[in-house]
Amino acid sequence: MTIAGVEPRNVATPADVGELAAAVRDLYADGKPFAFVGGGTELELGNAPRTLDTVVVTTACNRVIDYAPEDQTITVEAGMTVAAVCAVLAEHHQFLAFDVPDPDRTTIGGAIATNAYGRRRLRFGPIKDNIVGIAIVRPDGVVAHGGGKVVKNVAGFDIPKLMVGALGTLGAVVSATLRVHPRSEHGAAVALRNLTAAGVLRVCADIVEAALVPTSIVAFDDGGERYDCVVAFDGFRGGVDEQVRSMTGIAERLRCDASQPSPAELELLEARERSARCEAPWRVHLGAAPTKLAEFLARNDMAGIGRIYYPAIGSAILTANALSAATIERWRSDLDAGTVVVNAMPLAARGAIDAWGAPPPSWPIMRQLKANFDPKGLCNPGRFVGGI
Amino acid sequence: MAAVSDFIAIVGERNTITEGSELRTYEADGLPGFRVRPAVVVLPETTEQVAACVRLARALGMPIVPRGSGTGLSGGALPVEGCVVIGLSRMKAILEVDLPNRRMRVQPGVINLNISRHLAAAGYYYAPDPSSQSVCSIGGNVAENSGGAHCLKYGFTVNHAVGATIVTAEGDIVSVGAHGGEPDTLGYDLMGVFVGSEGLLGIVTEVLVRILRTPQATRTIFATFPTTDEAGAAVSSIISAGIVPAAIEMMDQLAIEAIVAATRVDWPLDVGAALLMDVDGVAAEVEHTADAAIAALRAAGAIEIRSPRDDGERALMWKGRKGAFAAMGRISPNYYVQDGVIPRKEIVAVLRDIARLASEAGLRVANVFHAGDGNLHPLILYDGRIPGQEALAERVGGEILKTCIRYGGSITGEHGVGFDKAAYMGDLFTEDDLATMQLVRCAFDRDVIFNPNKVFPTPRLCGDRPGIYHPHAAELAEVAGRG
């Protein structure tokens, strides 16, 4: 196992949260740098750790602590996989809106630490909107909680939010109370084809104008400059049917080719989305206000670059077999008020490219936060934004 | 006084308050029973003025208490001895509306409801709708992570305020969260932790909020029940059936009586409880959801189910609900508002416990609350002229909070911890949990100059380790206070 190319000296697999906290406490006391790993699906994310003694694997901490279907919440240990949680929820016709590409391997803790994102974020919000409470093991081995078990709660600082996307640099998430959603009675999708980036954005604008409520909007490059855009709806049958009709009307007005894709076709597109997010040697995650991202995609040469584009969220994943540091740099200076994060790159490129780009203006506060949580700088050192 | 003239030099004489009835306004917020006179109140008009005031206060060793509209119910804006109150009510410009990206940039003094009013003609609105929305400010909403009736479906301020300009404890102007509408930001989610930080981490001077398209259709349903048992069971059955209404509010008999007395709603007085519910979304979906909800209400034992005849009646019903706290004046000389949260499945049991606590104390408790989220608002009625009744009401309030904790809930769903509930934080969180929150606080405000004595039960300055409390030099010099 390597983290962004760095191999640890040891791998620890604590059997439960108590053992995990004890292991961390010992590592911290001994001054040994460490990192946490869940299912290991995002080990390429971030910069190479400056130094690494031990990887602490969380997957043995995988119990359901409490499931309250009538409250639409579940509390689980963070080493449980997303698929395992969803299997428990399915018994009560509920699901977790964590859209990870590899749910059989991705753990809850890993999804939180990496701020996993996906198509249904449009409707159910980002991961941080779906966490109501958390337990962490701090870098010094202390167990601490934030939030609670109820869906509405403003007592104390929102520690759960702070752990989302922190890549385990403030400690390990060891359990979380998650908001879950009822499964829909019915789902359907409409595919609109041969659109430019501006055309995709126009579709989104018309969807908003019509006050439709899609679950997801995903645009796939068609191998060239254009996109095929899939808009999905879920809910009670009558509402879904009405929205599909409205969507067909929007397509007609925009004079674009639209149809309801077959299940096989949808499966194929989802497989493509998964592979782009898990397998491509270069994976670059763009984020910007929707109009700015559409303009960026329209003005930059995208020949040879795969695009999974979430237009209404303002997010896209660009994939390629080869990219240069100069291209990443150009994109970063071109994408106004946006983020260009290199989620994966070949080992040889790592020296020349910072995975995150320039830190934001609030970085001094982040650096202080890190210093307060991890005064010895032992927890996943150097992997995060600005060398944190 | 040298300090006052220095503040006047920054914000001008008309924006500096040092005496008289004007100063008295700032001695308290919406939490009754506590008044503290601040040394000075400043009402800056720009971010730069806020920053200059913070730098000056820091140089003078004065604690800073930020304030929005002063409607908070937990004493978050209650001054501390010798402090400067920085009020943001004069910063009320709408700076930018970006409909294509559904974002809006506003100053902190903008009144919550004015955002939606500004957008109504274009068919958009701002979702968080605290009952005080016609007077509370967006800056205060950010500080408190304000909720409201429609949070059930749409989430709280933290889900809608995505970026901010803040003034730090050093007097620096810093952008946190999204500044251009990007969905995620690099590094730690400072905006996520800043929202709801109750004025302890900085002063917000600009907010970037998400705005939503007005739904195709909204249906309002009003239903009455013999007792709160049936109404509570109806809420549980709606939630567990997977129906997601925009709001479900419950009112018990006393609350209905007060609302009817204060407004023109024609709700029946001979029922034990009522639910007011909104279902919104795509038209066909709304019809289906409303029908399913009505079936659940009926199955739970509703006496009467009705919908408003027109938009006017709908507005009146919601006005009645949102004005419920104020309406208590019709049935009691004084009341004490509590704010606690419980798992939704426990509503019936907890309401019974509350009734028992009230009857043991010989006080009446009215319940009007966000039932869909399990966010209770018991209103403990008392007569302040009778010696001991106020203290008794507070004691009952405390017992109710402990009941919420016992059922696995929280001590506050939307009013904040503030000054009022700091003492209960230790019942909800461990010493290590609270120390972890202090690590966050000290990353923003090392010297604890923002809102000291709020939220945390034991004041602790940065660098202290949990254990015996040692007063800081600033405190010994009576610059920083202790609660």
CB contact under 8 A, A290 and B193: no
In the prediction, which pLDDT does B479 show? 36
User: Mean pLDDT over all residues of chain B?
Assistant: 92
Closest CA to A241 of A206, A192, A189: A189
Q: pLDDT value at position B471?
A: 40
Taking residues B77-83, report their average pLDDT.
96
Give the distance from residue B409's alpha carbon to the nearest chain A alpha carbon, in angstroms: 6
**Interface check B181 vs A, CB under 8 A:** yes
The answer, yes or no, to whether residue A348 has pLDDT greater than 60, is yes
Instruction: Determine which helix (DSSP H) or strand (DSSP E) holds B161, and give its type and residue range.
Output: strand B161-167
Q: Name every chain A residue with its beta carbon within 8 A of the beta carbon of B180.
A: 288-289, 292, 336-338
Q: CATH classification of B332-428, choosing from 3.30.70.2740, 3.40.50.2300, 3.60.10.10, 3.90.470.10?
A: 3.30.70.2740
State percent of chain A over pLDDT 90. 96
Q: B378-392 pLDDT, tens per residue?
A: 999 999 999 999 999
Across B11-38, average pLDDT: 93
Positions of CATH 3.40.462 in chain A: 186-352
Of A182, A314, A373, the CB nearest to B182: A314
Enumerate the CATH 3.30.465.10 domain ranges in chain A, comma separated. 1-183+358-388
**B contact test, residue of A154, A315, A339 with most B CBs within 10 A:** A154
pLDDT tier for residue B264 given thresholds of 50, 70 and 90:
confident
CB contact under 8 A, B187 and A146: no
Structure-block tokens of residue B413: 């769903």
Q: Does B445 touch chain A (CB under 8 A)?
A: no
Instruction: Please report which confidence band the pLDDT of residue B475 belongs to, taking 50, 70 and 90 as the band edges.
Output: very low
pLDDT at B20: 85
Model pLDDT, residue B461: 65
| pLDDT bracket for residue B474 (50, 70, 90) | very low
CB-nearest partner of B190 from A205, A313, A365: A365
Tell me whether B467 touches chain A (CB under 8 Å). no
Which residue among B184, B415, B439 places its CB closest to the CB of A373? B439
Partners of residue A372 in chain B, C-beta under 8 Å: 439-440, 442-443
pLDDT tier at B194 (50, 70, 90 boundaries)?
very high
Q: Is the pLDDT confidence value at B465 over 70?
A: no
B202 touching A, CB under 8 A?
no
**Alpha-carbon distance A343 to A357, whole Å?**
12
pLDDT given for residue B459 in this prediction: 63
The per-residue pLDDT of chain A, averaged, comes to 96
The interface residues of chain B toward chain A in range 240-269, judged by CB-CB distance below 8 A, are 240-244
Of B403, B421, B273, B253, nearest to B341 by C-alpha is B403
Mutation test of the interface with chain A: which of B186, B195, B462, choosing the one with the most A Cβ atoms within 10 A?
A: B186
A61 phi, psi to nearest 5 deg: -90, 85
Q: State which amino acid sits at residue B302.
A: A
Which pLDDT score, from 0 to 100, does residue B464 have? Answer: 57
CA distance A160 to chain B (A): 9
List the single residue in B101, B341, B432 with the smallest CB-CB distance to A150. B341
Reply yes or no on whether the pLDDT at B205 is more than 90.
yes
Chain A residue with minimal CA distance to B416? Answer: A154
Percent pLDDT > 70 in chain A is 100
List of residues 6+ apart from B2 with CB closer than 8 A: none
Q: How confident is the model at residue B78 (pLDDT cuts 50, 70, 90)?
A: very high
A212 interaction partners in chain B (CB closer than 8 Å): 282
Residue B98 with chain A: CB contacts under 8 Å: 289
Q: For chain B, give every residue range classified as CATH 3.30.465.10.
A: 94-213
Contacts A–B by Cβ distance under 8 A: 271
**B481: pLDDT strictly greater than 80:** no
**8 Å CB contact between B102 and B210:** yes
Say if CB A55 and CB A11 are below 8 A apart.
yes
Task: Inform me whether the C-beta atom of residue B97 falls under 8 Å from chain A C-beta atoms.
Answer: no
**Closest of A313, A161, A369 to residue B158, by C-alpha:** A161
Judge residue B476's burial from the number of C-beta atoms within 10 Å of its C-beta, 0-12 exposed, 13-18 middle, 19 or more buried. exposed
> What is the CATH architecture of B215-326?
2-Layer Sandwich (3.30)
Residue B372, chain A, CB below 8 Å: the answer is no
Q: Is the pLDDT of residue A248 over 60?
A: yes
3-state secondary structure of B250: strand
Which is it for strands A315-320 and B304-306: parallel, antiparallel or unpaired? unpaired
Collapsing DSSP to helix, strand or coil, A88 comes out as: helix
- Three-state DSSP class for A84? helix
Residue B446 has pLDDT above 70, yes or no: yes
Burial profile A126-161: b = 16 or more Cβ within 10 angstroms, e = fewer: bbbbbbbbbbbbbbbbbbbbbbbbbbbbbbbbbbbb
Q: Among candidates B76, B70, B75, which has minimal Cα distance to B22?
A: B70
The answer, yes or no, to whether residue B480 has pLDDT greater than 60, is: no
Instruction: Tell me if chain A has a CB within 8 Å of the CB of B236.
Output: yes
Asked if B370's CB is within 8 angstroms of A157's CB, the reply is no
* pLDDT exceeds cutoff 50 at B477: no
3-state SS record for A128-159: HHHEEEEEEECCCCCEEEEECCCCCCCCCCCH
Is pLDDT above 80 for A329?
Answer: yes
β-sheet with A54-57: strand ranges across: A10-12, A54-57, A34-37
Rounded to whole angstroms, how far apart are CA atoms A371 and A139? 11
Query: Are the Cβ atoms of B412 and A339 closer than 8 angstroms?
Result: no
pLDDT tens-digit series, residues A276-285: 888 999 999 9
Compute the half-sphere exposure of residue A112: CA atoms within 13 Å on the CB side of its CA: 38
Test B213 with A154 for CB contact under 8 angstroms.
no
Average pLDDT value for residue range A228-253: 96
pLDDT score of B66 more than 60: yes
B2-87 fold = 3.30.43
CB atoms B436 and A144 under 8 Å: yes
Hey, which residues does A81 pair with through a beta bridge? A107
- CB within 8 Å: B213 and A373: no
Cβ of B176 under 8 Å from any chain A Cβ?
A: yes
Helices (H), A156-314: 159-163, 197-209, 237-253, 263-278, 290-299
Q: Which of A295-299, B114-118, B459-463 has the lowest mean pLDDT?
A: B459-463
CATH of domain B94-213: 3.30.465.10
Q: Which CATH number fits domain A186-352: 3.30.2310, 3.20.20, 3.40.50, 3.40.462?
A: 3.40.462
pLDDT at B209 over 80: yes
- Structure confidence by residue, pLDDT tens digits, A99-119: 999 999 999 999 999 999 889
Mean pLDDT of A20-43: 97
- Shortest Cα distance, chain A CAs vs residue B391, angstroms: 24
Residue A369's alpha-carbon distances to A145, A172, A365, B165, B188, in angstroms, are: 17, 15, 6, 19, 9
Domain spanning A1-183+358-388, CATH class: alpha beta
Q: Does B428 touch chain A (CB under 8 A)?
A: yes
Smallest CA–CA distance, residue B16 to chain A, in Å, is: 30
pLDDT the model gives residue A280 = 92
- Flag if A153 and B155 touch (Cβ within 8 Å): no
In this predicted model, what pLDDT tens digit does every residue of B407-431 receive, in sequence order? Answer: 999 999 999 999 999 999 999 999 9
The pLDDT score that the predictor gives to residue B1 is 62
Residues in chain B closer than 8 A to A213 (CB atoms)? 281-282, 285
Q: Where in chain B is the domain with CATH 3.30.70.2740?
A: 332-428
